[in-house]
Each structure stands twice: as C-alpha cells, then as structure tokens.
Amino acid sequence: MPPPRTLSPGWGPRTARAAAALATNELRVAYALHPVRLLTELRAPEAVPALITTLRRRLRPHDPYRRVALACVEGLGELGDPRAEPVLGDALAHPALAEAAVRALARIPRPR
C-alpha cells in the first residue's frame, strides 16, 4: 500500500484553507463539489473538520446537494479519520448515501 499523500508540492497551506472555506460556505454550496474533492486529495489538516461540517449540513431533510454530500462521505472514507464516525453514522439513514457511508466506515481503522 503506498503511503498516504499529503499536500502536493505545488499546493501550499493556503490552498487547503481556501478549499476548506469554499467547501463550508453555505452561500456557495453549488460550488462546493470541487473544493471537497480537493480537500480529500490534499489530505491537509483542515480536510476532515471541513468535510464533517459540510456533510452535517447536507444531511438536512430535502437538501438538494446530494452530490456534495456523497463526495464528503467518500472523502471521509478515503481519509479514514475516526472523527468522521458520528457523521458517517448519521449518513447511514439517508438512502442516497447509505452504501457509500458503509464503505467509508469500513475504511476507518479500529483501535486494537
């Protein structure tokens, strides 16, 4: 298994902060898909809290941004951070996200 990637050489910490700000901006949700994916790729310290915040907001009833929610679920699974377990557990109740949430939860390491 290759080592996890962190910030790419061309991306600095400001890129991660900007992506986190865009992903969590409620006034720009329609544009959040790419920042969410970028945060996952960068594996920056801001990634997990930003994805958790964005996903929690997208779990509201009748939220029209399921693609953003799905990208958050997939990203949190790829990052494998235990802090994501509660929100991924909440995502299980949403039919459009449940399958991806099961996969994401399976990728989070369990303590021994």
| pTM exceeding the 0.85 threshold for the entire prediction | no
pLDDT at res. 73: 98
Q: How confident is the model at residue 7 (pLDDT cuts 50, 70, 90)?
A: very low
Q: What are the extents of the domains in the chain?
A: 13-106
Compute the distance between CA of residue 7 and CA of residue 16 in angstroms, rounded to an integer: 8
Residue with tokens 């303590």: 111
Q: Is the pLDDT of residue 3 over 70?
A: no
The angle subtended at Cα 70 by Cα 11 and Cα 75, nearest 5°, is 35
Average pLDDT, the chain: 84
